[in-house]
């Protein structure tokens, strides 16, 4: 068990952020068949085809231990950061920051040969390794990143509602079955760990992830304490939208608006919707205005972007023909 001791300042600094590196790291386990392969089957097929010919041995071996992962692959995370921002932090890791993972995870003679360059000369080996991360990102994660971001946004909205309705107790109770919250203690029930960590004012960063399912991860560093957890709704991530071309709903509201409802299972911007439907953003905005005025979709602003998603009423109309007049 990992037990985090939280002070008043830590409780005030419980917050959320998406981490591109978190998703990349967790996706390697999926691609390697160690977790969630059936859930993410469409992505696995895509990633394997796009990564054909890329030697991932170093990356897969580095993440071969189920009970631990390299701290330098869990860089400090701030809201709104890109993969490039986090990759720069990984590149800047000093020798001690790289070697500590190996020292904690393997005896000196047990470090896999393919990883020896990272241990023996981190400054020289880290550059090519980060180039491999960049290539992996571009091939396997970047094509689906908008979809993953939509999943994160939906999770953020749900967690915010939990916090508003019931405070931190409700938030943590809803987060994961292996997380317990009791006053000034946050317990993460990982049987292979026995850690008591006083957080000391840095708070707790909560990072939703699609590829981590069904597990959780904890980094109890002194600069940032973070918990990665399965994003809510991950089971719908790769589902195809139901056909609407000849549905009763399409007859009622029109094919374009029915198609919009089908796409809004996760929050999306007008730009994303326009690209998927092959129409202009102005056309999408016009249809969304009609759907929103009839309480079939709702919108919220995230930074400079307005995201739209179906309401329960919209979902009911999409999936239940009997609800139509």
pLDDT string in tens for the chain (325-residue length):
889 999 999 999 999 999 999 999 999 999 999 988 899 999 999 999 999 999 999 999 999 987 788 889 988 888 888 999 999 999 999 999 999 999 988 888 899 999 999 999 999 999 999 999 999 999 999 999 988 988 898 888 888 888 888 899 999 988 999 999 988 899 999 887 888 888 988 899 999 999 999 999 988 877 889 999 999 989 888 876 555 555 556 556 677 888 888 888 778 888 878 877 778 888 999 999 989 988 889 988 876 778 888 888 888 877 665 444 4
Distance of CA 123 to CAs 1, 75, 90, 92, 310, Å? 34, 17, 11, 9, 49
3-state helix, strand, coil in the chain (%, to 5): 55, 15, 35
Q: Are 108 and 120 in contact (CB under 8 A)?
A: no
CA neighbours within 13 Å on the CB side: how many for 302? 17
- Whose CA is closest to 226, among 191, 192, 181, 188? 188
Question: What is the residue-wise DSSP string for 161-230?
Answer: HHHHHHHHHHHHHHH-TTEEEETTEEEE--TT--EEEE-TTS-EEEEEESTTTT--EEEE-SS-EEEEEE
Pick the CATH number of 240-323 from 1.10.510.10, 1.10.10.10, 1.10.10.60, 3.40.50.1010: 1.10.10.10
Q: Are 260 and 318 in contact (CB under 8 A)?
A: no
* Distance, CA of 234 to CA of 266 (rounded, Å): 10
How confident is the model at residue 122, as a pLDDT? Answer: 95
* Distance, CA of 242 to CA of 46 (rounded, Å): 21
- Whose CA is closest to 218, among 186, 255, 256, 265? 186
Query: Burial letters for 1-37: b for 16+ Cβ neighbours within 10 Å, e otherwise?
Result: ebbbebeeebbebbebbbbbbbbbbbbbbbbeeebbe
Listed in sequence order, the residues at least 6 apart from 119 whose beta carbon sits closer than 8 Å to its beta carbon are 98, 99, 102, 111
In the chain, which residues fall in CATH 1.10.10.10?
Answer: 240-323
How confident is the model at residue 231, as a pLDDT? Answer: 94
- Whose CA is closest to 260, among 211, 298, 220? 298
- The sign of the torsion formed by the CA atoms of 83, 168, 2, 65 equals negative
Q: Please, which residues bridge with residue 181 across strands?
A: 186
CA neighbours within 13 Å on the CB side: how many for 164? 6
Listed in sequence order, the residues at least 6 apart from 256 whose beta carbon sits closer than 8 Å to its beta carbon are 277, 279, 283, 287
* Distance, CA of 104 to CA of 90 (rounded, Å): 19
């Amino acid at each position: 068990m990992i037990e985090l001791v939280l002070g008043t300042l830590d409780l005030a600094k419980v917050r959320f952020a998406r981490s591109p590196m978190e998703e990349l790291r967790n996706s390697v386990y999926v691609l390697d068949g160690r977790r969630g392969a059936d859930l993410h089957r469409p992505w696995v097929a895509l990633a394997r085809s796009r990564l054909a010919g890329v030697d991932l041995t170093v990356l897969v071996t580095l993440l071969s231990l189920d009970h631990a992962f390299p701290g330098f692959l869990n860089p400090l995370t701030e809201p709104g950061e890109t993969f490039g921002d986090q990759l720069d932090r990984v590149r800047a890791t000093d020798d001690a920051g790289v070697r500590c993972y190996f020292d904690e995870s393997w005896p000196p003679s047990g470090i896999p040969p393919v990883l020896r360059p990272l241990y023996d000369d981190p400054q020289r080996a880290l550059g090519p390794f980060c180039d491999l991360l960049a290539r992996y990102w571009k091939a396997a994660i970047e094509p689906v990143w908008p979809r993953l971001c939509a999943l994160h946004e939906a999770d953020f909205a749900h967690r915010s509602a939990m916090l508003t309705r019931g405070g931190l107790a409700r938030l943590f109770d809803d987060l994961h079955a292996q997380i317990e919250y009791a006053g000034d203690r946050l317990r993460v029930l990982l049987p292979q760990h026995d850690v008591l960590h006083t957080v000391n004012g840095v708070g707790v960063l909560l990072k939703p992830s699609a590829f981590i399912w069904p597990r959780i991860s904890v980094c109890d560093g002194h600069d940032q304490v973070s918990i990665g957890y399965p994003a809510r709704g991950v089971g719908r991530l790769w589902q195809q939208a139901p056909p609407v071309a000849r549905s009763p709903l399409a007859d009622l509201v029109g094919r374009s608006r029915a198609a919009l409802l089908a796409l809004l299972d996760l929050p999306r911007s007008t730009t994303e919707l326009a690209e998927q439907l092959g129409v202009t953003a102005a056309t999408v905005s016009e249809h969304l205005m009609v759907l929103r005025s009839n309480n079939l979709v709702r919108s919220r602003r995230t930074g400079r972007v307005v995201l739209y998603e179906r309401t329960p009423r919209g979902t009911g109309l999409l999936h239940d023909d009997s609800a139509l007049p």
